[in-house]
């Protein structure tokens, strides 16, 4: 007997929130992970490496984030982009925390619909 419920244990729903204005993505899953990586490592380069992202890509994402918020989320130390460390500002920590809250709140809220969708998967 076909039992659809037992076969789709591998599927998971992921909310990939984007905060956008026109074509500009102020914040999204990649930028949030990057903030978290910089918070953990104190370095854009190490955070980029951890995410399998080029340094230039990470630097560009940081520039976009910093320009979209009223005050910078990431502060780079003296020595320019290639040198020194980077720190997450108070605003940056707040933004990261709120983004993660949006994720957890929406995962919880989507459960009723997800519990009906899941059994339809192979």
105 binds a second copy (CB under 8 A): yes
Least distance to a second copy, CB of residue 111, Å:
9
**Count of residues that interact with a second copy, criterion CB under 8 A:** 45
CA 72 to each of CA 7, 44, 84, 90, 109: distance values in angstroms, whole numbers, following the listed order: 46, 14, 17, 9, 31
Binding mask 47-86 for a second copy (x = CB under 8 A): --------------------xxxxx---------------
Are 69 and 26 a contacting pair, CB within 8 Å?
Answer: yes
CA 116 to each of CA 7, 84, 112, 119, 120: distance values in angstroms, whole numbers, following the listed order: 15, 50, 7, 6, 8
Chain positions contacting a second copy, by CB under 8 A: 2, 4, 7-8, 10-22, 26-27, 67-71, 91, 94-95, 98-99, 101-102, 105-110, 112-114, 116-117, 120-122
């Amino acid at each position: 007997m076909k039992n659809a419920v037992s076969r789709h244990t591998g599927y998971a729903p992921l909310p990939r929130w984007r905060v956008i204005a026109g074509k500009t993505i102020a914040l999204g899953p990649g930028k949030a992970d990057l903030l978290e990586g910089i918070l953990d490592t104190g370095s854009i380069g190490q955070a980029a490496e951890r995410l399998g992202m080029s340094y230039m890509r990470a630097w560009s994402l940081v520039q976009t984030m910093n320009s979209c918020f009223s005050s910078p989320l990431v502060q780079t130390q003296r020595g320019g982009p290639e040198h020194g460390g980077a720190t997450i500002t108070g605003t940056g920590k707040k933004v990261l925390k709120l983004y993660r809250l949006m994720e957890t709140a929406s995962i919880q809220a989507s459960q009723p619909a997800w519990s009906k969708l899941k059994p339809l998967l192979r």
